[in-house]
Structure 1
């Protein structure tokens, strides 16, 4: 029982971390999990795992998401860029630049918060599904839109909860590109287990799983002019409707699931009886179990560095922006080897 729900999804961990939990499986990142990641630091080498935030470029991958727009702030009607500073009438040698940005939070390398995808579910057990998010937080009450008569935003489950967790743990990289090459392939349980075996296994509770497919490499090569037809037919994606794969994600204890492709899973998901989730892995991870998804991470340098050393584990540091109420965030993940 919970003040927000009488019935939880049959496959979920709602309430397992407390009635008001907003961290989901990030709770599994314990001090022991962090120390396990620290022990993977052998040489003190840090690798940036973010694309430039103006990539992919344009809006062909998602028509509602656009590249960031930078502009100078203004002072007394003047743009503050290379602006001499004379605030008190005295001659000073300073010149100042100060900018603002219009930023679509899930345009490039990003985290999805649990408020990004919810579902209609019968939490009252009365036969009337309502729109809810992880742990039963309600649309219109906890995740508020412009039509709800209050300032819009995620009043619960916002991305700031992930920032406050200061996400850092052991990362495990699976090289799906080595198995699948550049062709689009839906990866189910058996193929994923081949990648796990190639990485030496040993995936533990609180680890963050990263999937290298080569997709972000293609985005970089396109130089800000993505070819949607090419990208739609390129590189591995998880098969979100593979039940054995879904069960492994749940049973593995991973705290987060990240990939260098557009949505971690294939879009669209494989056909299924309706009604169903369009993105079944998003439903499983964000809605049912509180497993955050990282998308469009740039993993090629890390994959090559790990392969050269015959290893797959590293320390991963990846807090999002501490932006209250946002449902997603850009992120600059850092791998330390």
Structure 2
């Protein structure tokens, strides 16, 4: 699979396609994107990571956000009720699919200038008179996101090396490619083709230390109108991601630094250019502590989700099983 991929320098593949896009590399009607890299052979090799069978959840609670909500999304709400006269209870949940741990799907963020999603899908394809379910999350649901995960614990590394980084929303610090490669070297972590990259920025720890009033103040300017720290935008970073990974994720709400310092956002290129899932708000504290304890930062990841045809994003039900 990796040998058949075009080089990053060859992107876009077709004249007139958006910058760095790989439309058609898996077929003109493909809806899996880089999940195609998780072949049976890649997944079978990933199971070698399971030695102790330790299971660690990557999910935050659905009500993890407190105070004002990020980017204006609705809070999680639950109604519970007794179905009297029987001793039977039911409940109803109402929530935005991106208010907690989730994967951005291929309907989420288009190339803004071209107004096109992965493989050229348009808003009319999604909302028009002849709308379809194209690029909905149901395409990923059939087999899930399953494979070898690698945790790059940037927060632990940068504290040990006195690297300044402010993880909370309202800052605009960058995690560079040099940073991530240094983290991998310090951990002794080998990157393999098809890996699921998970980056711990320290956002969750910093967020959980805030009071409700501090959270409200921080969220008073939403991310899409303000700024956030995260992975840098650069051709070097994009080439590294393209060459290696099937999906990327982090513990912060944007994955990348926001807004971009280049012509394009990583969201545009990863989601709409390559069909690469972007995970956000992952719960990485227990995983990071366990990896540090056993001295291994690679593991088996199984991510299963709600099957909602045509949906934009999805709350995950993930577990990682570490190899020690």
TM-score, length-scaled by structure 1: 0.80
Q: Is the Cα–Cα contact under 8 Å of residues 169 and 208 in structure 1 kept in the other structure?
A: yes
Residue of 140, 150, 163 corresponding to 1:162 = 140
SS at match of 1:216: helix
SS at match of 2:70: coil
Residue of 282, 289, 292 corresponding to 1:304 = 289
Unaligned runs of 5+ in 1: 73-79, 86-94, 122-128
Question: Using a 3 Å threshold, how does the CA distance of structure 1 residues 281 and 98 change in structure 2: closer, same or farther?
Answer: same
Residue of 99, 102, 106 corresponding to 2:91 = 99
Identify the residue that residue 17 of structure 1 maps to in structure 2.
Answer: 26
Q: Is the Cα–Cα contact under 8 Å of residues 111 and 269 in structure 2 kept in the other structure?
A: no
Identify the residue that residue 81 of structure 1 maps to in structure 2.
Answer: 82
Identify the residue that residue 266 of structure 1 maps to in structure 2.
Answer: 257
| C-alpha distance in structure 2 between counterparts of 1:230 and 1:164, whole Å | 38
Residue of 107, 123, 137 corresponding to 2:121 = 137
Identify the residue that residue 102 of structure 2 maps to in structure 1.
Answer: 110
Higher normalized helix content (fraction of residues): 2
CA RMSD of aligned residues (A): 2.5
What does residue range 190-269 of structure 1 map to in structure 2 within 5 Å?
A: 190-222=178-210, 227=215, 237-240=230-233, 242-252=234-244, 254-269=245-260
TM-score, length-scaled by structure 2: 0.83
Question: Using a 3 Å threshold, how does the CA distance of structure 1 residues 186 and 228 change in structure 2: closer, same or farther?
Answer: farther
| C-alpha distance in structure 2 between counterparts of 1:225 and 1:336, whole Å | 37
| C-alpha distance in structure 1 between counterparts of 2:303 and 2:214, whole Å | 26
| C-alpha distance in structure 2 between counterparts of 1:230 and 1:120, whole Å | 27
Question: Using a 3 Å threshold, how does the CA distance of structure 1 residues 234 and 11 change in structure 2: closer, same or farther?
Answer: closer
| C-alpha distance in structure 2 between counterparts of 1:264 and 1:318, whole Å | 18
Unaligned runs of 5+ in 2: 1-13, 160-164, 168-172
SS at match of 2:82: coil
Aligned length: 294
Identify the residue that residue 36 of structure 1 maps to in structure 2.
Answer: 45
SS at match of 2:317: coil
SS at match of 2:190: coil
Question: Using a 3 Å threshold, how does the CA distance of structure 1 residues 50 and 225 change in structure 2: closer, same or farther?
Answer: farther
